[in-house]
């Protein structure tokens, strides 16, 4: 099912998988859209895997991914509009829709990027605080043990 409000799809992989459904709007082949595939936030190509568009709604990654979080992220080309309307150009509903969808897609990607970054920063902060609390508890216990030994 297509999610019109998101620019990504995530999968929590627990068994070997090669095919991943694209769960967001995508213009597909012949456009300026690309799909970036990551495994645990690392581009799969840098891990020695290949990615190809198997069909209009399926991305194939080889060799199979056996575990981890796979993220398919749409990246809309924003350097140029899909269609340019110059003097004498004919406006069509299709070309206008495509330009506005390009803008909407790029805005979804920005919004999703901020949310993803915020989630990762929150996780990092919570982990850091937990680690500091644990270190403080260990230090306090160690100090108490030394004081008790000294005072006995």
Rounded-to-10 torsion of CA 115, 116, 118, 123: 140
Highest mean pLDDT of the ranges 29-38, 45-54, 125-134: 45-54
Average of per-residue pLDDT values in the chain: 79
Q: Which of 40, 48, 24 is nearest to 108 (CA)?
A: 24
Residue 147: per-residue pLDDT: 61
Decide: 66 and 34 in contact? Cβ < 8 Å: no
* Start-end of H helices in the chain: 93-151
Tokens for 111?
């919004």
Confidence band, pLDDT 50/70/90 cuts, at residue 29: very low
Cα 107 off chain centre by: 15
Highest mean pLDDT of the ranges 37-41, 82-86, 112-116, 134-138: 37-41
Q: Is the pLDDT of residue 73 over 70?
A: yes
Q: What's the whole-number mean pLDDT along residues 121-135?
A: 70
Q: What's the whole-number mean pLDDT along residues 79-105?
A: 75
Q: Which of 33, 14, 31, 23 is nearest to 71 (CA)?
A: 23
- In the numeric block, the tokens 């230090």 are attached to 139
Residue 6: per-residue pLDDT: 74
Tokens for 85?
């309307």
């Amino acid at each position: 099912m297509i999610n019109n409000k998101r620019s990504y799809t995530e999968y929590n992989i627990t068994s070997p998988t090669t095919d991943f459904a694209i769960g967001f709007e995508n213009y597909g082949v012949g456009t300026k859209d690309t799909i970036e595939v990551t495994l645990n936030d690392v581009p799969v190509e840098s891990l020695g895997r290949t990615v190809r568009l198997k069909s209009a709604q399926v991305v194939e990654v080889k060799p199979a991914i056996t575990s981890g979080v796979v993220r398919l992220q749409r990246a809309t080309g924003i350097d140029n509009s899909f269609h340019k309307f110059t003097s004498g150009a004919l406006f069509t509903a299709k070309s206008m829709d495509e330009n506005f969808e390009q803008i909407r897609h790029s805005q979804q990607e920005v919004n999703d990027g901020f949310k993803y970054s915020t989630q990762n920063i929150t996780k990092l902060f919570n982990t850091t605080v937990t680690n500091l609390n644990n270190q403080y508890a260990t230090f306090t216990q160690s100090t108490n043990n030394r004081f008790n030994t000294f005072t006995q």
